[in-house]
Structure 1
Amino acid sequence: MIGIAVSAPLEREDAVVREAARHGHRVAIRAATADDLLERLAARPADAEPAIDLVLVVADEAHASRALVEGCDARGLRLLALADDPGERSRAQALGIDAVAWADGFAAIEASVRPSPAGPGTPAARGRVVVVWGPHGAPGRTTASIALAAELALLGQRVALVDADTTSAAVAPALGLLDESPGFAAAARLARAGSLTVDELDRIAQPVATSGGTVRVLTGIGRASRWPELGRERVAEVLERCRDWVDVTVVDVAASLERDEEISSDLFAPRRHAATLAALEAADELVVVAGGDAVGIARLVRALPKLRELAPQARPRVIVNRVRAGAIGVAPERAVEETLRRLAQVTPEACWPFDGRAADAAMLEGRPLADVAGRSRLRRRVQELALRLVPQEAATSRAALRAAERPRRRLLPALR
């Protein structure tokens, strides 16, 4: 846990408190101005809990001053500025304060305090690839991909969302993004030319602001006829480069798992489903989303053997979506679990409820579930999955997440 002292405009201050709680940290001091913050730091007993590990200020005249810099230096406190516009960045630079942008998410603030666990000469840990796949029939792959990416960002991860569906790409319209220039296709072209770098990925990705920070989105192809642009080697190279770009890359793929017939006359021709197959081969984690009805379960059971063959390195985390008594019968979750154990020798990771109201709200607003339906049952199930996907040391405790979700009354300035 990080102990934080903060001085910022009230709205930003409240946001810092909320995000700190979400990530398992605590704001110990809230101050209206830089002078007020300096006085509170001076009056705070040395053995007070929690210890102050970070002093966080907005880099403007009211909240960042030379006296505050000198006071933090004298006490050995780490001082960090939030700078989101050129004026704030210039002031932080003039005061000699390290700065991060609030748009980069709380992970950037944490990284400024916590040293990298890698020792000298040790390569930095590379990012992971999480592929979200589901059988035909619109079981909810795209909704799950977007919601999962947002939850991982809430847990302090740097996240990219990639739409590699060559049949019916849907991430861009679901988030209200323009997709005339598909980011994933652009990345594939750069990979073919040997020019794909982390800086290029930043340039072509579309940033999407969520409650947990920015999710970088590589939009999919708008027309299915463009599938030859996403060849196997190109897709593999893009996902490999993404490991150096972000902590987690969530990939939404198409349903088809067929390998094209490889006859001598078309041995080197593009493969229709190469993007899906390449993503599955690259997956560190495989999230399988199936529909919660008889047809969806049957399609899942038939596809699982092929899926294990294509991605032997990743254990499928089976999610049965839209589970409801109207389609399954009495005790639907138990019925789904028993059916999958009997027919496929697999225990589902979770059964997600049929929550049309929350899913519709997310689609209508073009935002993730966490932003528009934070207390919905469906959002909570996605949140539980995200907690299981991040490393233990990076995961926020469930208690902190629940505390962050409780409504807070806005404090009056006189009470701060």
Structure 2
Amino acid sequence: MSVGVLCAVRGTAESIIVQAVEGTGGRLSVTRRCADLTELLAAAEAGLGRIAVVSVDLDLLDRESVDVLHRAGVTVVGVGDPSRPWLADRMRAYGVDVLTDAPADEAGADELVLGALAALERPASTGPRPEGPAPEQPVVAPREVDGAVVAVWGPTGAPGRTTVAVNLAAELAAASGTTLLVDADTYGGSVAQVVGLLDEAPGLAAAARAAAQGTLDLHHLARLAPVLAPDLRVLSGVSRADRWPELPASSLDAVWSVARGLARWTVVDCGFCLESDEVLTFDTRAPQRNGATISALEAADVVVVVGAADPVGIQRLVRGLGELTDLGLGTTRVVVVNRVRASVAGPRPGEAVAGALARYAGVTDAHLVPDDRPALDAALLDARTLREAVPGSPARRALAGVAARVDAIVRSAVDVAALAAR
């Protein structure tokens, strides 16, 4: 059966490519010659083709649209302009499967077709394809990954995700290297306020826009993330909850990749909700409000799961752990129970919390953070971390223990990977 090809190529190269496709003896067939990106995406989502040949300068083409094509099961072939090599670099950042110069003759078009067929036969993925050399065409090379991503997540009910994320980032920065603190909460991001930054800072939304256009690199990300303390940078979130569409998951996937090269640790403060909006899922191109959280959890090397130490908070934590498991997220976890106090958990609050988690969630190694309200209030009042404001706080010591645990987990994983590579 012939494989459908969607062609959205500008200039004289289009007719050369169409002729080459039709000359494959029935293996390929041009099913739609698209005038613009809207028509291309509509044809892909309608299942009219499995290969899309696209000009690198097609209007409105960005990482999100390439991701839409991938989700529709379409292999993307980028056709570049040798006189404008920066467009080819941008297409690599978008995650195209094959990138080649616009053919000037029949031989060049035949090579493009062979490269497209080879890419089609490789295993499909849900995002930008793995990069590496191919005999027919150059494919995008893999990015070296240095740093680790730590997602801080917790169920609804304000269990203290932001407090844990901010102080965990501060402890990691002080103990084991450069750290980037990111606010990816699309419901009530407050990292900027907690650490004393202006709401107007462009932050993560600007990074996501640059990633969507394929222009985000280490220098750009560093400019967007001001230095808060030695070895600690902050990438602030959206200033209003209604700006959540500015954080599409496909763009954030690229942000996490660049962040790994910028900092030893990337600590992401996530929103609470993991649900997929049932209305929006009818339109595969509609933005997903919880996509930012799911993107961070999927990228994370370690997920720090935060719950509150009261009967309602423990119940939500147990259910949240089950939800993460059902969704296949956060397989490597560190459980943190926040605000542990006798007034709500009994005379031995630590034992009560530990017993409940062991019984109902099978968690036997949770980190318990005591409810040190005076210290937390003092830190919030001065817009500083516990390490800076009240270094002797019991809550700060507990969170330093969480940082040490996260560091040990990542180091162990690196050691195992190094042994496996030998």
* 1:171-320 mapped onto 2 (5 Å cutoff): 171-209=191-229, 213-261=230-278, 265-312=282-329, 314-320=331-337
Counterpart in 2 of 1:366? 383
Q: Which residue of 2 aligns with 1:114?
A: none
Give 3-state SS (helix, strand or coil) of 2:197's partner: coil
One-letter amino acid of the counterpart of residue 224, structure 2: I
- Once residues 410 and 298 of structure 2 are traced to their aligned partners in structure 1, the CA distance between those partners, rounded to angstroms, is 27
In 1, Cα distance between equivalents of 2:187 and 2:281: 26
Distance 1:316 1:170, change over 3 A: same
Question: 1: CA distance between counterparts of 2:360 and 2:225?
Answer: 41
Contact 1:283 1:311 survives alignment (8 Å): no
- Counterpart secondary structure, 1:155: helix
Partners in 1 of 2:173 and 2:367 — Cα distance? 21
Mapped to 2, the partners of 1:327 and 1:311 lie a distance apart of 32
Q: Which residue of 2 aligns with 1:152?
A: 172
CA contact (8 A) 2:297 2:329 kept: no
- What displacement does 1:189 show? 0.2
1:143 aligned to which of 146, 151, 163: 163
Whether contact under 8 Å (1:156, 1:394) holds in the other structure is: no
SS in 2 for 1:289: strand
Q: CA deviation at 1:312?
A: 4.0
Structure 1 counterpart of 2:405: 388
| Contact 2:169 2:181 survives alignment (8 Å) | yes
Between stretches 169-178 and 297-306, larger displacement belongs to 297-306
- SS of corresponding position for 2:261: coil
Moved over 4 A (4+): 262-265, 391-395
* Residues 147, 261 of structure 2: 8 Å contact kept: yes
* Deviation for aligned residue 1:277: 0.8
For residue 75 of structure 1, what is the aligned residue in structure 2? Answer: none
TM-score, normalised to structure 2, is 0.61
**CA-to-partner distance for each residue in 1:331-377, whole Å, 9 max, x for gaps?**
11111111111111222421110100111111011111101111111
Structure 1 pair 291–223 and aligned structure 2 pair: CA distance change class (3 A): same
Find the counterpart in structure 1 of residue 149 from structure 2. Answer: 129
1:283 and 1:311 map into 2 onto residues whose CA distance is 12
Distance 1:235 1:258, change over 3 A: same
Q: Which moves more between the two structures, 270-279 or 310-319?
A: 310-319
Q: Distance in 1 between matches of 2:280 and 2:261?
A: 37
Map 1:324-403 → 2, pairs under 5 A: 324-391=341-408
Tell me how many residue pairs correspond in the alignment.
Answer: 271
Give unmatched runs, 5+ long, in structure 1: 1-122, 396-416
Question: What's the CA shift for 1:263?
Answer: 6.7
- For residue 310 of structure 1, report the CA deviation from its aligned partner: 3.5
Within the candidate set 190, 199, 202, 1:170 is matched to 190
SS of 2:375 mapped into structure 1: helix
Hey, what's the Cα distance between the residues in 2 that align with 1:173 and 1:311? 32
- Greater relative contact order (CA < 8 Å, ≥ 6 in sequence): 1
Q: Tell me, in whole angstroms, the C-alpha distance in 2 between the residues paired with 1:164 and 1:232.
A: 11
Distance 2:235 2:202 in 1: 7
TM-superposed deviation, 1:302: 1.4
Name the % identity. Answer: 46
Q: Report how far residue 267 of structure 1 moved.
A: 2.0
User: Aligned partners of 2:190, 2:329: CA distance in 1, in Å?
Assistant: 27
Taking structure 1 as reference, are residues 155 and 263 closer, same or farther at Cα in structure 2, changes over 3 Å only? closer
The DSSP-based 3-state class of the residue aligned with 2:231 is strand
Q: Which moved more, 1:159-168 or 1:124-133?
A: 124-133
Deviation at 1:208, TM superposition (A): 0.3
Deviation at 1:182, TM superposition (A): 3.0
Question: For residue 387 of structure 1, what is the amino acid of its counterpart?
Answer: A
Code of the residue aligned with 1:339 in structure 2: it is A
Deviation at 1:197, TM superposition (A): 0.2
Structure 2: tracts of 5 or more residues without a match: 1-142, 413-422
Give the Cα–Cα distance (whole angstroms) in 1 for the partners of residues 410 and 287 of structure 2: 42
Q: 1:378 to 1:265 in 2, by over 3 A?
A: closer
SS of 2:183 mapped into structure 1 = strand
Match of 2:35 in 1: none
CA distance in 1, matches of 2:217, 2:200: 22
Report how far residue 393 of structure 1 moved: 11
